[in-house]
Amino acid sequence: MAISSSKKPVMTLYSASLCPYAQRVRIVLEEKAMEHQVIEVNLKSKPEDLAELNPYNQVPTLVDRELVLYESNIINEYLDERFPHPPLMPVDPVSRAKARLLMLRVDRDWFRPLFDQEALSDRARQKLRDELTAISVIFGGQRFLLGEEFSLVDCALAPMLWRLPSLGIELPDSARPLQGYMERVFSRESFQRSLTPAERSLRI
Ligand SMILES: N[C@@H](CCC(=O)N[C@@H](CS)C(=O)NCC(=O)O)C(=O)O
């Protein structure tokens, strides 16, 4: 629930219109229906205060009163703990630890190779396509990545899945259960509201 700058929201998110990491946070803010202000950052000409807030000078950066946070998954865990409804993490420690490992793997195996380098090689594209096809079977038996409940792990992965066509990755027919999962996630109100016009245009 982003609001105009005339009111004074408690939370401010520094975001960029095509940043998949920032979209992760935008999804969680919408899941929690949190009032917040979005500062749209031009990554080629960043505002000076961003470097003061975040030593890596990156988006997403969240400011909640005195607290400044960066790193999308860290921000999202904070939001989930601070605003417990709806819960986006399992309750028992073993499942929570497994969820964190999955978020780490999504980051290291998929987001970094895809989004932290200039060009994507055909080999990397094929590798991702094969890996996504392999995990597709999971969704034959469950609605979301951790089971029946939507979680932070889904929020961590969804921005990449949304970008597949723009990355030149087409899923094979054998990945149909994954397509069904994507439709479930993309049709959520929180996901739709998280999309910037630039992100929306990636799938038109
Ligand atoms: N690991 C970070 C990655 C954030 C990131 O790479 N953000 C990019 C935009 S998508 C950025 O701010 N790039 C500008 C820069 O690094 O100078 C996270 O999960 O939040």
Q: Is residue 204 part of a domain?
A: no
Residue 114's domain is classified under what CATH number?
Answer: 1.20.1050.10
Q: What is the pLDDT of residue 169?
A: 94
Kindly indicate the confidence band of residue 8, based on its pLDDT and cuts at 50, 70 and 90. Answer: low
Are residues 73 and 156 in contact, defined by beta-carbon separation less than 8 angstroms?
A: yes
User: Are 98 and 180 within one domain?
Assistant: yes
Q: Among this protein's residues, is 19 annotated catalytic?
A: yes
In angstroms, the CA 64 to CA 50 distance is 14
Q: What is the pTM of this model?
A: 0.95
The structural domain count of the chain equals 2
**59 CA to middle of ligand 1, Å?**
5
Residue 118 in domain: yes
Q: Residue 179 belongs to what domain range?
A: 93-194
Which of 38, 55, 86 is where one domain is finished?
86
Reported as a single tens digit per residue, the pLDDT across 85-117 is 999 999 999 999 999 999 999 999 999 988 887
In a domain, 145, yes or no: yes
- 151 in ligand 1 pocket by Cβ < 6 Å? no
**Residue 80 sits in the same domain as residue 130:** no
- DSSP for 45-101 reads S--HHHHHH-TT--S-EEEETTEEEESHHHHHHHHHHHS-SS--S-SSHHHHHHHHH
Catalytic residue, chosen from 12, 15, 17, 19, is 19
Q: For the chain, give the mean pLDDT.
A: 94
